[in-house]
Amino acid sequence: MDGAAGKPYLAVNGDVLATTSTIPPRVRKPGDPLDLTPFKLPVEWPAMRTMPRLIYGTAWKKGETEELTYKAIRAGFRGVDTALQPQHYDELAVGRGIQATLEGGLHPEGGLWVQTKYSPPAGQGGQCPYDGTQNQRHQVQESAAISMVDLGMLDCLLLHSACPTLSQTMEAWMEMAGQIGHGVRSLGVCNFTFDQFASFYHECVNLNRLSFQRMRPAFASPFNKTDIFSNNHQCTVPMVFQGPVAAVNGYATLLRAFCRKHGVIFQGYWVLSANTQLRKRGPVTTLADRAQVDPAVALYALFLGSDPNMAILDGTKDEKHMEQDIKGLEKVAAWSVANLAEWDSLVERFEGRLAEHAGNEQGAERSWSVEIMESLLSRQQSIPGTDMLDTRAWQDHLLASWYGAPDNM
């Protein structure tokens, strides 16, 4: 079994429970209508729920969080995203909103997908809900325990951002992996740059191979001098990546391609708020007119249609828009089946619009092709004495030896 082929080894008390691939690749082909089928994660936990392609986002809802969560579920949302980060989220209120829907007699068929995040102390804005003075392993354990009290079983626990160094990121990730089977069903990450995520994924693949070969506790990663397997955890690759989608970051084109390649579901946020111009003209307005839906729904539909591996976070506060977004996507899906040729044309035009900004990804950072990063991932040697997230030394070393000096990229 090979981690590079997308084979995570999820463990409970050190026993391998799943060696299946991550997410079966979803790649759009000409003639494919809009498919709203939820994602099914290949993890055999009891009552495993599916991830819908439209998830309700609860950031910045403040005192309205409980009510809006309740309304969103009543309107048809079957997934909820939150975080244990009081500065921007109210996780406990999300839990109360979910409980209110259940007590009100609504039990969604297939269950409700619930995900939250471990937010490192640096991202807590001075409002850390757990003891940030403890070591990182304790922080992750306490954060996850609080979230499970707030929300119950977690379908996905995400790392909210990369830590300052790769060794710290991996330490947090390994502790998160230890929560699988103990209230957590799957893992993901958020807000990594393309370079950070490729580096992180590369390290997960390496540790995955080594853990499968049972090379512990003798093995110590050069990026983490402690015994990363001391808790008898095994490493797993992430099943979810969450990040912004906007013109300024090239609509996350490289990140989404990387995720498709490796069977990682990409969850996009800011899809509506950061793309005002995109939804005001071109294929978006044409689809809105032809399918008789709101331009916001048309924008969601074209993103989901062009990238079947993508889910979208929708954070509307308007109850009417909640229902409109859910039912509107279903309406576009039906329209696309009846008008395949026109749907194909609109998706192609939309992809062309996105391609115009693809070079913006990572801002001023050097954007590398997926092919180059695949070459990096295939190499199983690391550069001792460097940190993949702190410096570019290891990438520059490999790129210079394979493709010439970085300035020639």
- The better pLDDT of the pair 71, 8 is held by 71
CA–CA separation, 362 vs 373, rounded Å?
A: 15
Residue 190: beta bridge partners?
A: 242
Averaged pLDDT for residues 126-130: 90
- Condensed to tens digits (0 to 9), the pLDDT of residues 163-219 reads 988 899 999 999 999 998 888 989 999 999 998 999 999 888 887 766 544 333 332
Q: Which amino acid is it at 79?
A: G
Mean pLDDT of 105-123: 89
Give the angle subtended at the CA of 138 by the CAs of 383 and 112, to the nearest 5°: 95
Contact present, 212 and 9 (Cβ < 8 Å): yes
Token pair, residue 276, equals: 């005002």
Q: What are phi and psi of 394, to 5 degrees?
A: -70, -40
**CA–CA separation, 259 and 263 (whole Å):** 6
pLDDT band at 26 (very low <50, low <70, confident <90, very high): confident
Integer angstrom CA distances of residue 66 from 55, 56, 82, 92, 323: 16, 12, 12, 8, 18
Say whether pLDDT at 324 is over 60. yes
Instruction: Compute the mean pLDDT over every residue in the chain, rounded to the nearest whole number.
Output: 79
Confidence of residue 368 (pLDDT cuts 50, 70, 90): very low
What domains lie within the chain, and their CATH numbers?
7-408 (3.20.20.100)
Q: How far apart are CA 199 and CA 388, in angstroms?
A: 6
Residue 85: per-residue pLDDT: 95
Q: Which tokens belong to 327?
A: 């039912």
What DSSP character marks residue 184?
B
Least confident of 42-46, 134-138, 170-174, 194-198: 42-46
Work out the end-to-end distance of the chain between its first and last CA atoms, rounded to an integer number of angstroms: 34
- Centre a 10 Å sphere on the Cβ of residue 280 and count the other Cβ atoms it contains: 11
